[in-house]
Structure 1
Amino acid sequence: MVIAVVLVLIVVGSVLFHFLSPWWFSPLASNWNYIDDTTVLTFWICGAVFSALLLFVAYCLFRFRHTEGRKAAYEPENKRLEGWLTAITAGGVIAMLAPGLLVWAQFVQVPPAATDVEVIGQQWLWSFRLPGADGQLGAADNRLVSPDNTLGVSPTDPAGQDDVLIEGGELLIPVGRPVRFLLRSIDVLHNFYVPEFRAKMDMIPGSVTYFWVTPTQPGTYEILCAELCGVGHSYMRGVVTVVTEEDYQAWLSGQATFASLSL
């Protein structure tokens, strides 16, 4: 009986902690409110199953507790119960996976008007490359990385000469405009993550991954690495600031280009 009471208290405490907890999502600053919706849905389904299982165990401990003269009935199979459990489990899994697949489909379909921003991760620093006046990024290759070309931009590609390079500095992006982040790692696995954007993606050496986001709230947000990348992992932080289109263009025009840094 003590165990049954403890299980009931665990359920009650978990529900109270959820509603009274001071920890919740960081403020949303992008179009990805779908991420919050699917997270909440998953949480409620898992929470309901967790509560139902513990309460069921507590009920069984109480209902079938030992009394003098009672005998246990051996029932190795119950097809009706197995059918119900299979259907409920399948329904719960579908309810959690289906919304996620719909959100993922939007996550990888980049709007045609999105601005490209390349993010380069390396131990333990964030760098960025933005299109210059021609509106396109030039080619880049990790094999071209050197002390004089730390981001591996191709010096033979004319499209890369006006690319804007920001090494270890602050990134600015315009509010209300879709941005596609092209993610490249120079050394080991990293993960580009801005909690307020609700978007993250692994960065794999030798590959270019991506996601897109439309910032909706001007402000300054912290960039985190969400993949253990070595002893300095916790210090791999950066800053992205969402500003108006006018402020973005003014800032962009004052940044150094690959051609100017190569002189």
Structure 2
Amino acid sequence: MAIAIAVIVLALGSVLFFFLSPWKLTPLASNWGTIDDTIHVTIWVTGAVFVAVNLFLAFAIIRYRYHKQRRSHYDPENKRLEAWLAGLTTIGIAALLAPGLLVWGAFVSVPENAHEVEVVGQQWHWSYRFPGEDGRFGAVQTRLIGPDNPFGLVGDAAGQDDVLIQSPRLVLPVDRPVKMVLRSKDVLHNFQVANFRAKMDMVPGQVTYFWLTPTETGEFEVSCAELCGIAHFAMRGRVDVVEPAAFDDWLAEQPTHAELAAREPGDPEAGEAHFASCAACHGSEGQGNPDQNAPRLAGLEPWYLERQLELFRAGARGTHEDDTFGQQMRPFATQLPDRQAIADLAAYLQTLPGGPVEASLSGDAKRGARLYRTCGSCHGAEGQGIRATNAPRLAGMHDWYLARQLRHFREGIRGRHPQDLYGHQMVDMAQVLVDDRAVDDVVAHINTLAGSGEE
């Protein structure tokens, strides 16, 4: 009897929890209210079956409980019962599938007036491409993808005016249909914006798509809804839905493939003049200065240095009240007038030897090696840095600086600014370091990696 009561309480409690729960669907911000309708149909059908099965189970426990004066009767076949079960199951499955099939048909039937945007997924990053004025995407080939050609464009005429967005932030106009063309560089991903009620798998070697019409302005989170690797949970982006005029202005500011190809590389000679103000803290060879709390710069990749200097200039770094040394750095970064000056400075820093660094922190490198397995997925097994995952070099950098930045990420002092999208990933990843001891241990392991202390 106690088991029967427990089953009844479980069934009724689950129903009450569903109706009284504070957790609801995110606010709808697209035309796909029919997705909500299919979800509700699924909930009602499965909920009714759940309650019916559990109440029948409780009835069977009570009705057919053990009694020493009663013997069980074996009935190997009951055609009437089987017919009822088959009929009810058929109705339930049809009620689940039929609405979904209708919605799916509409989901992949793109209106003729829809504009297009391509979404490219990779571990663990989103990037986007818009067709240019000709309205056509340029051809791409996976084998051409590389650091200097992240989209794999073949360079045909149609691709010269393609607008390339290498940031995880996408901007879309409100009340305008858009076809989302999806492809993956590496493994299976899934592009999902919960508020849009829209998602689709991204299969390597294939192109998939769906369409939607954003109906509400605002900022909405992009997530990967397919387990794609160790940092899957940190593969996030943002969609900003704005008024059409604001979208047109934003799109006009983004570089085309031809413009990116025509950009001048950084000039080390010009960068040397910009470095004069940096040398006072970071050293004449970019070797860093612990007394000034200035980390080593020599040895860091130009693309990473450029990104961090842009973040300092934009106020996405160095503005948190607890980031004292970041606040000191920001005024120097704002002295760089434009992107070319930043590229020049980064190119000059690449020419500096930097010199070896000495370990200053004590930690358990063996324990740190286990913790570093998560870090190594992005930064490389030897801490060499991997551009494809937007992860900088760690080996050979000052351990006291690495430890401070890991603590800042863990505490949200660094990486929480809306414009620092890769910083958001690091905030999530740094949570695996549960205390200061864990931080010191993983940095102690980084001190042992190939490249540490080398010129």
User: Is the aligned partner of 1:2 residue 2:2?
Assistant: yes
Equivalent residue of 2:11, what SS?
helix
Paired residue for 1:59? Answer: 59
Partners of 1:244 and 1:20 lie apart in 2 by 37
Paired residue for 2:129? Answer: 129
Equivalent residue of 1:191, what SS?
strand
Q: Deviations over 1:63-116 (max 9, x none)?
A: 223345233333222111111111001110011011111011001111111111
Partners of 2:97 and 2:130 lie apart in 1 by 35
Partners of 2:147 and 2:86 lie apart in 1 by 60
Partners of 2:256 and 2:203 lie apart in 1 by 26
Deviates further, 144-153 or 176-185: 144-153
TM superposition shift of 1:7: 0.7
- What does residue range 115-194 of structure 1 map to in structure 2 within 5 Å? 115-155=115-155, 157-194=156-193
Deviates further, 42-51 or 72-81: 72-81
Do the aligned residues in 1 keep the contact of 2:125 with 2:168 (CA within 8 Å)?
no
Deviates further, 225-234 or 122-131: 225-234
Equivalent residue of 2:161, what SS?
coil
Structure 2 runs not aligned, ≥5 long: 263-455
TM superposition shift of 1:235: 1.4
Paired residue for 2:231? Answer: 232
Equivalent residue of 2:27, what SS?
coil
User: Is the aligned partner of 1:27 residue 2:27?
Assistant: yes
Paired residue for 1:103? Answer: 103
Partners of 1:234 and 1:172 lie apart in 2 by 22
> Could you tell me the TM-score, scaled by structure 1's length?
0.96
Do the aligned residues in 1 keep the contact of 2:131 with 2:162 (CA within 8 Å)?
yes
Do the aligned residues in 1 keep the contact of 2:170 with 2:238 (CA within 8 Å)?
yes
Equivalent residue of 2:52, what SS?
helix
Structure with the higher helix share, 1 or 2: 2
Greater RCO between the two (CA within 8 Å, min separation 6)? Answer: 1
Paired residue for 1:251? Answer: 250
Deviates further, 168-177 or 64-73: 64-73
Summarize the Cα distance change of 1:180–1:77 in structure 2 as closer, same or farther, 3 Å threshold.
Answer: same
Do the aligned residues in 1 keep the contact of 2:168 with 2:236 (CA within 8 Å)?
no
- Percent identical residues: 56
> Could you tell me the TM-score, scaled by structure 2's length?
0.56
Deviates further, 58-67 or 125-134: 58-67
Partners of 2:87 and 2:99 lie apart in 1 by 19
Partners of 2:146 and 2:14 lie apart in 1 by 54
Equivalent residue of 2:84, what SS?
helix
Deviates further, 66-75 or 93-102: 66-75
Paired residue for 1:89? Answer: 89
Paired residue for 1:114? Answer: 114
Equivalent residue of 1:139, what SS?
coil
Partners of 2:168 and 2:259 lie apart in 1 by 17
Equivalent residue of 1:182, what SS?
strand
The one-letter code of the counterpart of 1:41 is: V
Structure with the higher strand share, 1 or 2: 1
The one-letter code of the counterpart of 1:168 is: S
TM superposition shift of 1:194: 0.6
Paired residue for 2:36? Answer: 36
The one-letter code of the counterpart of 1:4 is: A
The one-letter code of the counterpart of 1:170 is: R
Paired residue for 2:341? Answer: none
Paired residue for 1:209? Answer: 208
Partners of 1:237 and 1:62 lie apart in 2 by 51
Paired residue for 1:71? Answer: 71
TM superposition shift of 1:243: 0.7
TM superposition shift of 1:189: 1.3
Equivalent residue of 1:180, what SS?
strand
The one-letter code of the counterpart of 2:217 is: P
Summarize the Cα distance change of 1:234–1:81 in structure 2 as closer, same or farther, 3 Å threshold.
Answer: same
TM superposition shift of 1:159: 1.4
Partners of 1:36 and 1:67 lie apart in 2 by 49
Partners of 2:185 and 2:198 lie apart in 1 by 21
* RMSD of aligned residue pairs (Cα, Å): 1.2
User: Is the aligned partner of 1:15 residue 2:30?
Assistant: no
TM superposition shift of 1:122: 1.1
Partners of 2:139 and 2:107 lie apart in 1 by 24
TM superposition shift of 1:62: 1.5
Matched pairs, number:
262
Paired residue for 1:46? Answer: 46
Partners of 1:46 and 1:169 lie apart in 2 by 37
Q: Deviations over 1:18-66 (max 9, x none)?
A: 0011112111101111111111111111111111011011112222233
TM superposition shift of 1:169: 4.0
Do the aligned residues in 1 keep the contact of 2:127 with 2:167 (CA within 8 Å)?
yes
Partners of 1:231 and 1:60 lie apart in 2 by 46
